Structure 1
């Protein structure tokens, strides 16, 4: 590694703690607190209260409309099957019985098999399509702005309770028609608004209810339970283990956590599940001849009881069900098209085509160079007459994939996940409402959250093939779940690892990080530069100097092609501080359009978990006009504060799916505790030609690479998949 290029010296869950994603990259930045404080988290996963609330047709509305059509199709198909999902069935009976049973198991008083025996539970309805069903939701995802009279009524209630009136539009959108009545009857429903915290909702309730407000109020307990589960989802969990949820409720001042969970389950605001745990190495029962004895009594297996929000819990069940359908519904057709595709594809692409001849689902792993293999597969499949389509996480990823296809690129062969789900991109749908495809290739698969993955899988027709391709070393999805990692761990389908290494010094550095080694790499062309700093103020100063002066002069990469990546939004060297400093140097202005000026680089969040880099063009009565990935976007004035941010500096999750000619990774001293191997791998691998590391964490960087794995997420997909495979086998 070399020193900085031409610089002028002038004086960065544990489930019980949970669920809040403060300081983590999975918490929302936006949304204002009920008592005027900062929002409920400083990182990025949900990427703020995103989405457009425009009265005109928006990208979010188009996606919701497509989802409604798809939901109707899925409901018709599931109604025909009339079969309950066997895997992961939720516990039935009274919630109190559930909790009593859990205590008996945990205390050792009774074995799990005895405690959970008894009358067979009523069959659960099949899991519905995990679209965003009509329910109280953040204003960011509302298809349209609430009626003015509803907002005004909510404003009056907020004013009576001492909450900021600026929360009125979000609250009205979150609680729907009659939101003012809902708030008067249950002030803690304010917790449904993005960014509001329990202590702030408590203050609102005390002012509104007076002496009728108490810490043991059942309404508070139920609302805090839901809030904790939402915070867990922001941190990536699709459910929480029951003891962890109870401990978190106690930390939040709920006097009777058990009763709070009972109430949430009884009201249908959460679901409980009993999942059997696998015991590695446990032998199957065998008879006297040494053969497996299917009639032998199976030994008791440990179980865990989970509690989760319906939308995420059922999304995982629907995803597992859909994957099993793909695996077991191969069309009765000759293998000739796939053999033809294999014959016309090189190396790893041919291996993928051969695997697809006999399997409905194939996983493909590798770094940036490995993207050439699914690209070659796409071209060979289309040349063989197969209806094939590929999607990426971002517009930049789509552009890079199209470039790999070169002269063979066909219009309409490549899109984004969001574009395919909304119907704006892709092949369209057949008479049954399924995507008109033989093969869907999904690149950047680690960025799939559980809901998006379920919608993709449910949209595929019987007999279609699905390839999920991605780099397993990068950060997991911004939304809940860890779909790609769970599929790899479940080993329920073929897995093909690319043998194409990423080239050059940057490829060598990133490959080492992927296996836990931070190596010294020769960089004769100043591909990698380390810039030591003493404190956050110096980190900000040197970052601006690098982007505006040193990198353009020494490397030849202009500021508009350089990205700055830092661990979080807050702090003295977070995205807010860095964007303020970078704007002051690169595009100074008064910020007359809601804090923005023409030419500003921005990060636009059209939907939860999605960030699209772009720039400001202008503003008028319609809103803020942006250019994002070559497309014109208009953000209504009332939505600008919540879904547009300055974008010279991003967090690693915001940068996922995109790459830039140069990257400056900022690691201030206060970031030492937040670093992990996936974070470092993701941040460093965003650079194509040059990487500068503004280094203020000393030995915390090599320690993070060598010792700190991804933060664990509680999910059910692996267990559900194994159950599906076992029942099918």
Structure 2
């Protein structure tokens, strides 16, 4: 590593950092959801508009496809031949919670001791209660609310002193009679993205007057659901009861026990009792191996979760078990697969051999290891297999397509339509092979790159979309940041060990590859960078960090490295603060594309980051603006963002957060680490940010020892999920 020798004039003292608010989450970047993980997030897309468009946009097409798939998932689950045994031979608090659920199913209130006193005897096992159809999430609302309904809701919001700009979203989420629902239960306002409990409390006081009390059951239930939604934003699919109750107490809920109990009684949340392993890590409980008394005393983990994520995790476990247990289709003779494996070197051959015999295979490795799934794709196509690959982003798809082909393998995919797609495009039907008569994807093998970015709902849709006998390969780097949505699917599957795992031995090349590989094992060494592949630029404060970043992007990197400004990406921990994305983008725009921002803050030629849906970021630039909206070009595709959605879904893109940058790479990257970012650093964040660089990495370093400490001591924050246990209940571990 080398240190930049240039010096600058002394800058004024740093400004007070502004709140780092994550778009679409309603919380600041420094605030975690209960027990959760702070994450960067792209701008969220509003749930509705004022008028129906004649043609579906990419986001609307994706959401429509997801609705169809969820209906298919629910039908599939309803066709199961028998009930699912849950809670068998449990005692104590877990059995009481299960009794509460069954009481709710029969129309009764749960017993008051369900969360307080141990039961005198264990409950008998019974089928899992039948669940209601999950309501659509805000972004899934199918119909645009009528103008009359919006006007009525706007009047109610104004009456209570709430922002009337929330009216379209309230009407879309609560549906017909939204004003009546709000008058009956003002805390339903918490179902709107970005609304916080204190804001809903003020709305309730304005409507209810003296009848508004902190111990109101309606408030307790609404805050319980809100906390679980915030936990989902932090990656959890459920929360343990003590964690949830502690969070409720922090939100001034007088009786957290009663709040959770009431939420279960009204069907707002679900309760789960997961038996914990007692025979060591990685081993599943052995059925019938112990007496009844030992089973009754087995420790359990009591979880509370929302139905949508519970349904997704169960559907994902079912779909994965179906793929693992089904015999792969006879695509090519066994000798042909063996010959293809022998002709591929190293881990690529192992990958082909594993895919030949198994329905699910995991593949791990860094950026250079992508050549191995590329070899698999080419070999499978050469055998006549209908194989496709899907990536997290269009940029990742283009990089994968540019990998060198093997001349010794026939490529049946050398057509005008290469077998590559994005995950979102595959699910929405705008990319990929399309679907067969049964609604399944019309393919035999699906290779999913960037697998750590799969949240539990997207992964469930993918697995349920695959036909029986299809093969699924999940490939990715386990060291990068996890998905923006709830769950940790790839990490859970790696830990469950229910299928073959192929570990790549292809190292990332050069000084940057050496540095990133060392970070992955918790070390931050000095690497030899004779060509200035890695440069450290020390700074004293945030204003100096902004100044030096602009200097690097505009002058130093183009002049010394030969990478132009438009191919250099800035990455920083947060959106707010004196050196966050907002401040850096403003400074970079002033130098690279100055203008008045006459198109809602944007000018023609501005570099942007477009988020068609939460958790997805597409880099691009502004082409023009007219009555239709803001015209963008993103990875070669034309996108029109309606005027009313620009503020929520488009940001300037010279500077991004690491979560926005994951799944993409640039020739040069400038990572900015101002002093106020020390608390946001972790090993996965540093690994992801540094790993986005191809030829050159500059680190604007103002966190002193916080950087090596984060790499050595701060792993990914844990996420509470149920997928490993669900898989262990259906599949044996492979060791």
In structure 2, how many angstroms separate the alpha carbons of the residues matched to 1:467 and 1:402?
A: 17
Q: For residue 572 of structure 2, what is the aligned residue in structure 1? A: 566
Q: For residue 431 of structure 2, what is the aligned residue in structure 1? A: 425
Structure 2 unmatched ranges of 5 or more: 12-17, 89-96
Does the CA-based 8 Å contact 1:66-1:423 persist in structure 2? yes
Q: For residue 521 of structure 1, what is the aligned residue in structure 2? A: 527
TM-score in terms of structure 1 length: 0.89
Matches within 5 A, 1:182-261: 182-261=181-260
1:545 to 2:581 alignment: no
In structure 2, how many angstroms separate the alpha carbons of the residues matched to 1:282 and 1:522?
A: 40
Which of 692, 701, 707 does residue 701 from structure 1 map onto? 707
In structure 1, how many angstroms separate the alpha carbons of the residues matched to 2:608 and 2:207?
A: 39
In structure 2, how many angstroms separate the alpha carbons of the residues matched to 1:430 and 1:206?
A: 54
1:342 to 2:341 alignment: yes
Shift of 1:193: 1.3
Matches within 5 A, 1:594-613: 594-613=600-619
Of stretches 386-395 and 166-175 in structure 1, the one that deviates more from structure 2 is: 166-175
Which of 308, 328, 333 does residue 311 from structure 1 map onto? 308
Closer/same/farther in 2, CA of residues 127 and 264 from structure 1, 3 Å limit: closer
Q: For residue 3 of structure 1, what is the aligned residue in structure 2? A: 3
TM-score in terms of structure 2 length: 0.89
Matches within 5 A, 1:366-405: 366-405=365-404
* CA displacement, residues 358-403 of structure 1 (integer Å, 9 cap, x when unaligned): 2211110000000000000000000011111100001111001101
Does the CA-based 8 Å contact 2:47-2:172 persist in structure 1? no
Matches within 5 A, 1:67-146: 67-86=66-85, 91=98, 92-94=101-103, 100-101=113-114, 103-104=116-117, 117-125=122-130, 134-135=135-136, 137-138=137-138, 140-143=139-142, 145-146=144-145
In structure 2, how many angstroms separate the alpha carbons of the residues matched to 1:285 and 1:441?
A: 29
Q: For residue 45 of structure 2, what is the aligned residue in structure 1? A: 50
1:687 to 2:693 alignment: yes
* CA displacement, residues 154-208 of structure 1 (integer Å, 9 cap, x when unaligned): 1111111111122222222222232222222211111111111111111111112
Shift of 1:566: 0.8
In structure 1, how many angstroms separate the alpha carbons of the residues matched to 2:281 and 2:370?
A: 38
Q: For residue 298 of structure 2, what is the aligned residue in structure 1? A: 301
Which of 655, 667, 676 does residue 649 from structure 1 map onto? 655
Does the CA-based 8 Å contact 1:73-1:432 persist in structure 2? no
In structure 2, how many angstroms separate the alpha carbons of the residues matched to 1:715 and 1:646?
A: 34
Shift of 1:264: 1.3
Closer/same/farther in 2, CA of residues 594 and 357 from structure 1, 3 Å limit: same
Does the CA-based 8 Å contact 1:7-1:550 persist in structure 2? no
Q: For residue 359 of structure 1, what is the aligned residue in structure 2? A: 358
Shift of 1:567: 0.8
Does the CA-based 8 Å contact 2:40-2:658 persist in structure 1? no
In structure 2, how many angstroms separate the alpha carbons of the residues matched to 1:218 and 1:157?
A: 22
Matches within 5 A, 1:433-582: 433-582=439-588
Q: For residue 16 of structure 1, what is the aligned residue in structure 2? A: none
Q: For residue 638 of structure 1, what is the aligned residue in structure 2? A: 644
Does the CA-based 8 Å contact 1:476-1:482 persist in structure 2? yes
Q: For residue 92 of structure 2, what is the aligned residue in structure 1? A: none
Structure 1 unmatched ranges of 5 or more: 12-21
Closer/same/farther in 2, CA of residues 98 and 383 from structure 1, 3 Å limit: farther
Q: For residue 14 of structure 1, what is the aligned residue in structure 2? A: none
In structure 2, how many angstroms separate the alpha carbons of the residues matched to 1:480 and 1:570?
A: 23
Closer/same/farther in 2, CA of residues 336 and 436 from structure 1, 3 Å limit: farther
Does the CA-based 8 Å contact 1:601-1:646 persist in structure 2? yes
Matched position secondary structure for 1:529:
strand
Q: For residue 330 of structure 1, what is the aligned residue in structure 2? A: 327
In structure 1, how many angstroms separate the alpha carbons of the residues matched to 2:152 and 2:287?
A: 68
In structure 1, how many angstroms separate the alpha carbons of the residues matched to 2:346 and 2:677?
A: 42
* CA displacement, residues 81-131 of structure 1 (integer Å, 9 cap, x when unaligned): 333344789933247758835544xxxx67xxx76x223333444998xxx
Does the CA-based 8 Å contact 2:573-2:658 persist in structure 1? yes
In structure 1, how many angstroms separate the alpha carbons of the residues matched to 2:32 and 2:640?
A: 27
Does the CA-based 8 Å contact 1:5-1:526 persist in structure 2? no
Shift of 1:644: 1.0
Of stretches 706-715 and 47-56 in structure 1, the one that deviates more from structure 2 is: 47-56
In structure 2, how many angstroms separate the alpha carbons of the residues matched to 1:294 and 1:270?
A: 33
Matched position secondary structure for 1:404:
coil
Matched position secondary structure for 1:200:
helix
Matches within 5 A, 1:161-180: 161-180=160-179
Does the CA-based 8 Å contact 1:446-1:485 persist in structure 2? yes
Does the CA-based 8 Å contact 1:599-1:617 persist in structure 2? yes
Shift of 1:145: 3.9
Count of residue pairs the alignment pairs up: 697
Shift of 1:52: 7.0
Closer/same/farther in 2, CA of residues 73 and 308 from structure 1, 3 Å limit: closer
In structure 2, how many angstroms separate the alpha carbons of the residues matched to 1:580 and 1:186?
A: 42
Matched position secondary structure for 1:65:
helix
